[in-house]
Chains A and B, each alone.
Chain A
Amino acid sequence: MKRTAQRLPHARVDPGKTLRFRFDGRTYEGVAGDSLASALLANGVGVVGRSFKLHRPRGVFGCGKEEANALVQLESGGYSEPNARATLVPLYEGLEARGQNAWPNVRSDVFGALGVFKRLLPASFYYKTFMWPNWQRWEGLVRRLAGLGIAPTSADPQKYLKQNVHADVVVVGAGRSGLEAALATSRDPACRVLLIDEQEEPGGGLLASPAAADRSWLEEALREVAARDNITLLCRTTVNGYYDNNVLAALERLSNHHGPAAGGAVRERFWRIFAGRVVLATGAIERPLVFPNNDRPGIMLASAVREYCHRYGLTLGERIVFYTNNDSAWRTALELVDAGVPVVAIIDLRPAVESELRQRAREAGIALHLGTVVTDTRGRSGLRRLVLHRLAGPGDALEAPAGTLDCDVLAMSGGWTPTVHLYSQSGGLLAYRDSDACFVPERAHQAVTAVGRANGEFAAPLNLQPQWLTPGVSAEHQWVDFQYDVTASDIQLAARENFVSVEHVKRYTTNGMSVDQGKTSNVNGLGILALATGRPIPEVGTTRFRPPYHPTSLGAYAGIELGALYTPFQQLPAHAAHVAAGALFEDYGAWQRPACYPRPGEEEEAAMAREARAVRSAVGLLDYSPLGKLEVRGPDAREFLNRMYLNNIRTLEVGAARYGLMLNEAGIVIDDGVVVCLARDHFLLHTTSGGATTIHQHLEEWLQCEWTDLEVIVGNATTQWATLMLSGPKARAVLAQLDGDIDVSREAFGHMQYREGRLLGQPCRILRASFTGEVSFEISVPANCGLSLWEALMQAGEPHGIVPFGIETLMLLRTEKGYPHVGADTDGNTMPQDLGWGGAVANKPDDFVGRRSLSQPVGSDPGRFQFTGLELLEADARTVSGAHILTADGESTAGYVTSAFHSPNLNRTVALGIVADARDRQGEEVTVFYAGQRQRARLIKPGVYDPAGEALNG
């Protein structure tokens, strides 16, 4: 491969603007408009990578997304990107890249000798060769030796975005066909057209054309595109997926062409495209020919040689030879000669070629070798010589040696593969076309059309004669998939081992499974499999095309949803006061809530103990605002709630509150809370904090889908009210100090009663319920008054020793009292009888959701996990929620600890659990197992603090 300082005059690069870059530790210069691949070729860098398995030296082979060899590790640290196709990386100042799978570098890889052992490494060798003593012994070594790029280990500092767009017509590909389609459909000014192209600039194949007519056509078309308001052109954008309902996914590379120097600019944007109609103008990819040692650096696709010449102005060799089975390469060769590039010969395996082409080639001074195949290539790190044989007939044996031919570049063409990936992903059917030996779109499943070469429409007939591999010579070194080192012999081996399905052969041989997903190898692989199994290609069929078409950065899928933006969060109305009080915040669902308020130097458990003692002995204040608040109203509200709750709602009086259990239709407890009767036809449901949204949806589903005759509306008022829980023996005294019109005396305001009025001049709702076991007032004021109420209560409470307490302290207090927390002390099987509510079910006269399921056999199964208290028998013993309760034989699990705290008020562990048949086994001893430790415990009635419940009425 030759170093070309000068660029040909018709190139699309700017030779006046040089860019410095580094590859494998050496500094080079390219020019503006170069890709990394073209810049490497311009510098005569022949070896750019090492093959996946055998570490064979590899050079640039293609010019675009079909590139199979020039995979590089781009940049380093958080900017590192493995397997970047050098052909798709636009050159920028300061670019740094390294070759992959080589040590110390791709020029002198110490593992290059592995090729000698190829016989030991056939398809799926890891199932066969490295079996003694076991594969695991070898795995580490093989994984170090084989592979491509290295995944970055540090976080990606670059920004990514996601965006939706709707368009009437989406045109994928801005080559000639795509531009024509965009201009035609956009004639209707109401039609919004989105024109997408993956290259750095629009033009597609036209960018590689030297013809003046093509260039002026492109200029004119682009002027027209720019002039039309209803065309949006997205360049540097690859459509990667095509889904149902004409939804497409695309990745736009916004600042990759600046590299890390782009700074804070958004790197990539992930587009979700909603299309009315789709036009696929995705072109076609040239296929390599399969022959011995066809992977040597210097052997390239003819289309790539063409593009490097006319687009990048590179004369890649001093003796360029073409090898083909179709007419398109002849035209390419003639174009190159016109541009002054030295093409010395054309080898064509067809015995006869159209006379006009032959005539023009001879006039151009090109030697012709018809009916001839390449049977070997020579050269160390680059191509030096071809070995030729004459072919007896199509696909037939070799006839006679035809000498050798010296050359430094071989431009090959085995035909063209229309880029039908997106068409196939859309559900469209493909058909095999014999004349061009390729699959073309046959029948669309969605509103999609393929045009141009993507539809198998070639500018001129190919007159192709397929040759899937070279006959008469060993298939062992005839490469099919360059990226994964798959040879024709591997596919033949799979066929011999009786793999029939193309999907199986793909996975067994890994043909087409590398990062390019077989863009150049799939059809050749099918052809070889067809020959080996004696079936025609349509019968072999293709593997399924799946998204993404081209690898996509994981960062683009994440977009901005990272870190603090990963999920929305909610803060409490009095958040500022909690911060000032030194709260330890934790996430509870979407809410950021104080777990407790540790003082400086205080451990979390010590803080909880201090707060819990204060609530039991004086008074505490908790921001309880996430408490679910659903309002249910309407003439049928009472009837509706009576059907939704296990408890009798018919008898609930205005101003009174009642505990309620809610089941799903399978009889499983899904929520508990307090139902408050605000008026005869108006109820307030306090659900669990985590259940507000789901219980609202549950109620709505029954109203909208089942009982459409009931006149009821449900509203979720959870965040409209700030709710503060004032709890402890001094709670009443503190509340009475605040300016309000509600009589909070023991006589006027009993337990499970509800009052409305004004407090500090604001409307307020006060419920006396208790989750701590102490006298508690749950005081709700409009959300924006939450902070001032908090401050007023803390101030009023100061003389009484008030402390703020957090949600973990509340959990400790209710565990002391043995109050179950639905979702923590229940699981997906818990029925009311497991919580001790069997009697209430029996006493309720009416049906309610889930009732019938309770009397199914499962409801009385022995071994049901039932709610219970647990007393650890050893002094000072601790346990945690999640610890197992063992069966009598100690062999398996018969329950769990569901809540466990150290109680500062009882000075021992308090624990709750669900245990098999616990309600009939009270007093029995069980074994608690956690982290290898066994402890003895006794099943006891839940609630060891104030079992008589006297504190409630204090």
Chain B
Amino acid sequence: MSESMMRQATNISRNQLISVGTSFGKFTKSKKFKLHITALDYLAQYAVYKIWIKPNGEGSFLYGNHVLKAHLGRITDDTPQNKGVVIYSMSDVPLGFGVTAHSTVDTRKLQSTNIVAFNQADVGLYLREQDTLFAS
């Protein structure tokens, strides 16, 4: 968010201000930071580890399910276990982000129904949780 925008936003009183800039996430009660789907734009640009999923798995992922081996299209080499990854469709559209369940090497040995990455947030949230997503 630019500074000028921030300054302009100060004209709006606290109660009436609904949204300005982009929310990255918020702190949980246990002081952990939970990323919001709205941060996806920025994460997608700078992601180190990426997963691409096949078209037949897109729907499943967008409904909030985890990424299965069967749907795995491509994965960045040498991704370690339990690392945050940004998940793309095969046409490089960022769909969400998650955490890997296994490292790249391990995923090769997995069965097709095993989970490769856990879903943390996906763009389906825009529809599913329209009302609660942006409430502070």
Do A and B interact? no
